[in-house]
Amino acid sequence: MMKIDIITLFPEMCEAVLNESVIGRARKKGVVEFECHQLRDFAYDKHKRVDDTTYGGGMGMLMKAEPIALCFEDICQKAGKRLHLIYMSPKGKTLTQQRAAELARLDNIVILCGHYEGVDQRVIDEYVDEEISVGDYVLTGGELPALVLADCVSRMIPGVLSDNVCFEEESHYGGLLEYPQYTKPYEWRGKTVPDVLMSGHHANIEKWRREQALAETLKKRPDMLEKAVFEENDIKMQTFLSEKSIDKNK
């Protein structure tokens, strides 16, 4: 079982999300464990302050190093070892499916949620193992990014989803976007499901899905093709789709 610890000023906010849907069910089954730690419990003054003004001036407040350090040290002490600490920050490397899969192989990670103008650089230098961003934008706090990371990592833990195929065929997992999918009814507002999906011919269906995944990626995220892992027939299909796209734009 994997455990994810979250250091936050808003544990109730995190708990509300982590107790719902697929992740909530996996948590109840004991497949994955979450523990949200109230950072103010580790503040050392009577007002439970975790922030202060920045040296050198400037707008906003900065999260203090000591409460974060005390909280992380307490988590590590209870775990009996030094754990991997991730700080959710717009300065970090953008979260990818590949990195989430790597993190899912660990047995325990700790996620730090920043607030205000961020956290004291000294605690980052001393304790943070990596900074992760969920996009090139800034939010009011690190809780939403932390929950995105927790969800992304958790769903790749064995037993969270019904089968590994549930995420192995999704967008980004294999370097391509996912193929289009359809459900009942067969005809909706004059539009029908592609005939190949109704054929029952599994080889043809898989071939169609692969072609569609390539087409979707070429159309929406051509940058992903630079790092994608191609199968034997993919290069020919990619060339065909590229030429088709060029002809269409003439």
* Collapsed DSSP state (helix, strand, coil) of residue 6: strand
Stretches in the chain below the pLDDT threshold 50: 165-172, 246, 248-250
Amino acid 146: pLDDT: 98
Amino acid 175: pLDDT: 78
Amino acid 170: pLDDT: 47
Amino acid 174: pLDDT: 64
List of domains in the chain = 2-154 (3.40.1280.10), 187-249 (1.10.1270.20)
The H-or-E segment that residue 32 falls in is: strand 32-38
Amino acid 19: pLDDT: 95
Amino acid 100: pLDDT: 95
Amino acid 172: pLDDT: 46
Q: Are strands 32-38 and 2-8 parallel, antiparallel or unpaired?
A: parallel
Amino acid 167: pLDDT: 44
- Residue 164 and residue 156: Cα distance in Å, rounded? 7
Residue 149 in tokens = 């990371």
Angle between helices 11-18 and 21-29 (to 10 degrees): 90
